[in-house]
Amino acid sequence: MVEFDTRIQFLKGVGETRAKQLNKLGIYSIGALLRYYPKRYEDWNTVTEIRDVKLNETTCIKATVAERVSEVRVKSGKLLTKTTISDMSGFMPIVFFNNRYVKNTLKENEEYLFFGKVTLDAYKNKTMLSPRFEIAGEKQRLRPIYRASGNLTSKNIEKLVETALKEIKGNVEEVLPQSLISKYKLMSLEDAIRNIHFPQSEELLRQAKRRLIFEELLILQLGLLSKKSFTDKRETIPFKIDKSEEFYNKLPFVPTNAQKKAVSEAIADLMSEKPMNRLVQGDVGSGKTAVAAAIIYTAVKNGFQAAFMAPTEVLASQHFKTLKSFFGEEIKTELLTGSLSAKNKREIKQRIELGECQVVVGTHAMIQSDVIFNSLGLVITDEQHRFGVAQRTALSQKGENTNVLVMSATPIPRTLAMVIYGDLDVSVLDELPKGRLPIKTYRVNSAYHERLYDFLRKTIDKGQQAYIVCPLVEESESDLIPATEYYDYLKTNQFSDYTLGLLHGQMKPKEKDEVMARFYSGEINLLISTVVIEVGVDVPNATVMVIENAERFGLSQLHQLRGRIGRGKEQSTCVLLSDAQNEEAMNRFQVLCDTNDGFVIAQKDLELRGPGDFFGSRQHGLPDMHIANLMTDTRILYEAQKTAKEICDDDTTLSKDENKTLKKEVERLFANVSLT
C-alpha cells in the first residue's frame, strides 16, 4: 500500500525516465504528485449543440462521426485529416493537422465528445481545428489541465494522478484536527484531493479548493507565528524616555503626520518589555531615513548603541551623510564598509567595542564576528528584502534581545505584507513631504532618441542633471545596448560638450562612491548607469531619467528607478524607452504613466507577476504556495490567521496529539526556509 511519503518511482506506471521528468516539476513522492494541483479545468460537462456554438469560443460538443475520416497531404507537406460530425441540430466539419492517429481512432457512426475552439474555415463555415476528443459516455466531467514540461504532458500527469488515487484510497492521513473540520464545515483531505483533481461537480470543486486553501494558509501562518512567538517570549530592557520631539526641533523641516505616527509606534514598542520587531514601509521619497533618525536619536539618549545596515556601500554612505547632517557632533556616528582600509576598520571596531561610537552605519561588513558592540539596543536594516534571513539575524544577535526595525521603499499590498511580514508589526508611510511634484512619465520608442538627446541637453543647460539607465553593463549575446558602450557613444557623439559619468555594479566600491560624489556635487551633468542606482541615491538636482529597454525591468523596479528623480522642487520627467509591443510590457508602462502611487503600483505588480515572483520568495523566508492565491483568498487568509493564533495560544509548540499532523505539515512546507 502506498503512502504520501512513498517515492514517486514506486508508483505503478512510473519508470526511471518518467520519475526524472516528474522530479523536474518538483514531484518526488506520491504526496507531491497529489499536491500538484491542476492549473485550470476544461468543462466537458456542459455540452453545446452544433447550431448554438459561438465563434471563437472553446466549447464541448457531443456528436456522431457522420462520414468516413479522410486524409490529404497539402503542398506544404502537412497531413490534413478531415471528417464531419453531427448531432440532432446540425453538421460541422472538423480538421486535424499532422495527426496520423486520428484516422484509426475516430470511427464512423460512433458518438464522441469533441472539445475545442470554434472558428471559420475558408468557406465561412463554422469548424473545429484539432479538437481533443473521447468516446461519449455517462461520465462527462471537468477535466484537469496540469502545468506540463518537456515530454511529460498534462494527460500523462492526469493518468498518474488517477493511478495514485486508486492506490492510496483509504490511506490519506488527515492533516487538520476534526474540531476545525467541523467548525468550518470542511471536506476531508482525501475527498478534497479527489475533487481537486477529478471534480464531480462545480460545487464539489469549490468545496475542495476551500478546504485545501484553508489548510495551506493555516500551515503557512502557523510557521510564521512560530517565528513571532520566539520573538514575543524574549524580554528586553525598556527605554525610559521619548526624545522624538527633541529631535524634531532640530530638523530644518516639519515631519509629516505619517512620519510622526511611525516614530510614535516604534517608540511605544521600545518602551515596552518586549523587543521591537517592526517594519516601516513607504513609497520612494516618503521620508523613512528621518523616521529612522528619530528612533536612533531616542535609542542613543536612552544609553544604547544603534546599527543601521544598508545593502550597498553607495546607500550606506548616503545614510551616513544624512544622519551626520541630522546629529552633527552631538552623536558619534561611524561608517563601516568593506572598502575601508584595514587600519580604519580596526580603529572603528575598537571604538564600537568601547562604546565611543554610538551609531554605526554600514553594509554586511557589520555582521563580521570581530565587530563587537558595547551596548547594542537597536538594529535597523534598510531595503530589507535585499538581505537574506541569516544576515538580518546575525546583526540583531550582536546585542541581547535587540530591538529590530526594518525599512522598505518597496510598498507591499496589505494582503502580501500580512504573510511575508507575519512576524512583524507594520507602520506605513503613506504621505509624501509637502512641495513634492508628481513625476511626469511617458513611454516612447527608439525613433525618439534624437529628440530625447535634445531634451536632455536643454535640461542640462538649465543647470539640472539627468540619468540614463541601461539594463546591461557590458556586451552580451542580446541586442541590448550595454552601459559601457552607450557611455562611450554618448560621450563622443551626443554630449561631447558635457560631463558624463558611468556607474555600474562591476566597479569597485571606491570608484562608485567617487562617481556618485561627483554627480551629487553637480560636476557630472549626465549619469549613465545600470540598476545600481535603483535604491536610495538622492540627488535633488536630477530631474530627468531615461530608461533604455524599459521592458527588461519589472513594474516595481521601474518605480524604484523613477524614484531617484523628483527629489527637488523642479518638475521631473521619466521617459520609458522601449520598442516592445507585448501586452505585459504595455500594461506595465501604462500603470507607470497613470500613477506615482507606489502602493497602487505594487498591487498591480502583484497582479501581473503573482506573489511568488514579487520579491523572490526564498529571500523572504516565504515558502511556495501550491493552491492559495494571496490576491483573491483574503477572506480565507483572515480565517487561517485567526485559527493559527488560537492554536498557538493554546499549544505554542504544536505538541498536543491533535496538532501533531499540523506540526509535520509546517516542517514540510518550511523544509527549505529558515524559521529563525
Q: What CATH number is attached to the domain comprising 473? A: 3.40.50.300
- Residue 116 included in any domain: yes
The pLDDT > 90 percentage for the chain reads 53
pLDDT of residue 385: 54
The pLDDT > 70 percentage for the chain reads 89
pLDDT band of residue 227 (cuts 50, 70, 90) is low
Residue 568: alpha-carbon gap to chain centroid: 30
Range 217-233 average pLDDT: 74
- Residue 453 included in any domain: yes
pLDDT value at 229 more than 70: no
As a whole number of angstroms, the distance between CA 653 and CA 642 comes to: 17
pLDDT value at 616 more than 50: no
pLDDT value at 618 more than 50: no
Tell me the per-residue pLDDT of 132-154, one tens digit each, with 9 for 90 and over: 998 987 666 789 999 988 889 99
The residue among 603 and 5 whose pLDDT is bigger is 5
Task: Determine contact, residues 216/625, Cβ cutoff 8 Å.
Answer: yes
Q: Decide: residue 458, CB within 10 A, 0-12 exposed, 13-18 middle, 19+ buried.
A: exposed
Q: What CATH number is attached to the domain comprising 79? A: 2.40.50.140
Tell me the per-residue pLDDT of 198-207, one tens digit each, with 9 for 90 and over: 998 889 999 9
- Residue 388 included in any domain: no
pLDDT value at 313 more than 90: no
pLDDT of residue 127: 95
Range 443-451 average pLDDT: 94
pTM tops 0.85, yes or no: no
The residue among 543 and 536 whose pLDDT is bigger is 543
The residue among 227 and 540 whose pLDDT is bigger is 540
- Residue 563 included in any domain: yes
For residue 643 the three cell numbers come to: 485559527
pLDDT of residue 186: 96
Count of C-beta atoms within a 10 Å radius of residue 648: 18
pLDDT band of residue 652 (cuts 50, 70, 90) is confident
pLDDT value at 536 more than 70: no
pLDDT of residue 233: 59
List the strands of the sheet with 333-336, edge to edge.
333-336, 359-362, 305-309, 376-382, 403-408, 277-282, 425-429
Boundary of a domain, candidates 573, 595, 617:
595
The residue among 548 and 138 whose pLDDT is bigger is 548
Beta carbons within 8 Å of 662's beta carbon, 6+ residues apart: 175, 176, 177, 218, 219, 222, 647, 654
In DSSP terms, which residues pair with 412 in a beta bridge?
Answer: none
- φ/ψ (deg, to 5) at 141: -165, 175
Task: Determine contact, residues 430/258, Cβ cutoff 8 Å.
Answer: yes
What's the domain count of the chain?
2
Domain with 468 in it: 440-595
As a whole number of angstroms, the distance between CA 592 and CA 587 comes to: 9
pLDDT of residue 418: 62
Closest-CA residue to 431 (of 602, 604, 605, 262): 262
Task: Determine contact, residues 420/412, Cβ cutoff 8 Å.
Answer: yes
Task: Determine contact, residues 470/481, Cβ cutoff 8 Å.
Answer: yes
pLDDT of residue 388: 55
pLDDT of residue 225: 79
pLDDT of residue 428: 86
Count of C-beta atoms within a 10 Å radius of residue 289: 19
Residue 124 region by backbone torsions, left for phi larger than 0, else alpha for psi between -120 and 50, else beta? left
Task: Determine contact, residues 234/275, Cβ cutoff 8 Å.
Answer: yes
pLDDT value at 414 more than 80: no
- Residue 266 included in any domain: no
pLDDT of residue 237: 87
Considering only CA atoms, give the Rg of the chain: 31
pLDDT of residue 667: 85
The residue among 448 and 555 whose pLDDT is bigger is 448
pLDDT value at 460 more than 80: yes
pLDDT value at 96 more than 60: yes
- Residue 504 included in any domain: yes
pLDDT value at 239 more than 70: yes
- Residue 643 included in any domain: no
Count of C-beta atoms within a 10 Å radius of residue 623: 21
Boundary of a domain, candidates 110, 140, 170:
140
- Residue 164 included in any domain: no
pLDDT value at 232 more than 80: no
Range 11-40 average pLDDT: 92
As a whole number of angstroms, the distance between CA 634 and CA 549 comes to: 36
- When mean pLDDT is compared across 44-53, 58-67, 227-236, 270-279, the lowest value belongs to 227-236
- When mean pLDDT is compared across 260-269, 436-445, 550-559, 663-672, the lowest value belongs to 663-672
Residue 420: alpha-carbon gap to chain centroid: 10
Range 152-158 average pLDDT: 92
First to last CA, the chain: 37
Tell me the per-residue pLDDT of 175-203, one tens digit each, with 9 for 90 and over: 999 999 999 999 999 999 999 999 988 89
In DSSP terms, which residues pair with 93 in a beta bridge?
Answer: 84
Q: Decide: residue 151, CB within 10 A, 0-12 exposed, 13-18 middle, 19+ buried.
A: exposed
Boundary of a domain, candidates 595, 612, 633:
595
pLDDT of residue 473: 73
Residue 424: alpha-carbon gap to chain centroid: 18
Count of C-beta atoms within a 10 Å radius of residue 257: 10
HSE of 602, CA atoms in CB hemisphere, 13 A: 19
Task: Determine contact, residues 655/663, Cβ cutoff 8 Å.
Answer: yes
Range 200-221 average pLDDT: 93
Average pLDDT value over all residues in the chain: 87
Tell me the per-residue pLDDT of 3-21, one tens digit each, with 9 for 90 and over: 888 999 999 989 889 999 9
